[in-house]
Amino acid sequence: MGLTKLSTLLRRMALALVLMLAPGIAPALVAESAALDIALLAPLAGGDTEAKLRVIAQLGQMPDQRATQILEALGSGRLRGTSSGELVIIEADQTAVDAVTGETRSVPADANSIMINNRLRRAIAGALAVSQLFSEHPGERLAAAQAVQRGSDPAMLPAVEQALATETDAQVRQALGIARAVLQLKHADHTARISAIKTLGDSGDGASRSILLNLLVSEADGRYAEPDEEVREE
């Protein structure tokens, strides 16, 4: 195993550990270790949204590049399922790739598109972002950190903190710091939210400024996006 692949594997193993130990993390993200096989993937072709969410979370934590390809195919409507439980990815040239083995094959006659709703789309985006936070390529890690900034899912905080602890690229570290601050804005502890506001304010980032201004917007009933006056005064 090359050094870059070993580094990526260690990053993901650390992620799996932090997800299991982190208190309060969304259950869907605490996925048990699983092999990429048809038994794992089968729920994707079914109608149980919760089961699909569990599979999506597991795929996001796997070091196997095929897991990322499956998530991307599911999100783009290129993952097809058959009545016998087979799953294939449809390529741009309309050839098919077996989702489990990665081998090129003919498109099954009964292959049907797997429909996803907005909840599943958000889960796919989150799983891909978590997966790419531990990529061996700095550019992919940077894009993932920026995606987390836009997603604002608090359940991603343990993964972001783990990525930040192991990140060596300065630009990626900065993006991860902003991502962590954005997620901390939803923290129950107001001191964590104050710390996040300071981080975002010091970043000089235009998007961060917009996020901070939104905290000061009041609704028609007088409620603010940030309910704590002490935090708003920061």
User: Helices 118-132 & 49-60, crossing angle to 10 degrees?
Assistant: 10
Contact present, 122 and 151 (Cβ < 8 Å): yes
Residue-wise pLDDT tens for the chain (234 aa)? 555 554 555 555 555 544 443 333 343 333 334 568 888 999 999 889 999 998 998 888 776 788 889 999 999 999 999 888 889 999 988 889 999 989 999 898 898 999 899 999 988 988 888 888 888 899 999 998 988 887 666 777 888 888 899 899 999 999 999 888 888 887 767 777 777 788 877 777 766 667 765 666 566 655 655 555 555 455
Residue 92 is predicted with a pLDDT of 87
Among candidates 136, 140, 156, which has minimal Cα distance to 148? 156
What residues does each domain of the chain span?
3-118, 140-232
Residue 214 is predicted with a pLDDT of 65
Give the count of beta carbons closer than 10 Å to the beta carbon of residue 143: 18
Contact present, 12 and 166 (Cβ < 8 Å): no
Contact present, 183 and 43 (Cβ < 8 Å): no
pLDDT 10s digits, 25-64: 343 333 334 568 888 999 999 889 999 998 998 888 776 7
Angstrom CA distances, 181 to 11, 22, 42, 43, 148, stand at 21, 18, 37, 35, 11
- CA–CA distance, 201 with 234 (Å, rounded to integer): 9
> pTM of the predicted model, to two decimals?
0.61
Residue 136 is predicted with a pLDDT of 85
At position 19, the amino acid (one-letter code) is: L
Give the count of beta carbons closer than 10 Å to the beta carbon of residue 38: 15
What is the three-state SS of the chain?
Answer: CCHHHHHHHHHHHHHHHHHHHCCCCCHHHCCCCCCCCHHHHHHHHCCCHHHHHHHHHHHHCCCCHHHHHHHHHHHHCCEEECCCCCEEEECCCCCEEECCCCCEECCCCCCEECCCCHHHHHHHHHHHHHHHCCCCCHHHHHHHHHHHHHHCCHHHHHHHHHHHHHCCCHHHHHHHHHHHHHHHCCCCCHHHHHHHHHHHHHHCCHHHHHHHHHCCCECCCCCECCCCHHHHCC
pLDDT 10s digits, 180-208: 888 888 776 777 777 778 887 777 776 66
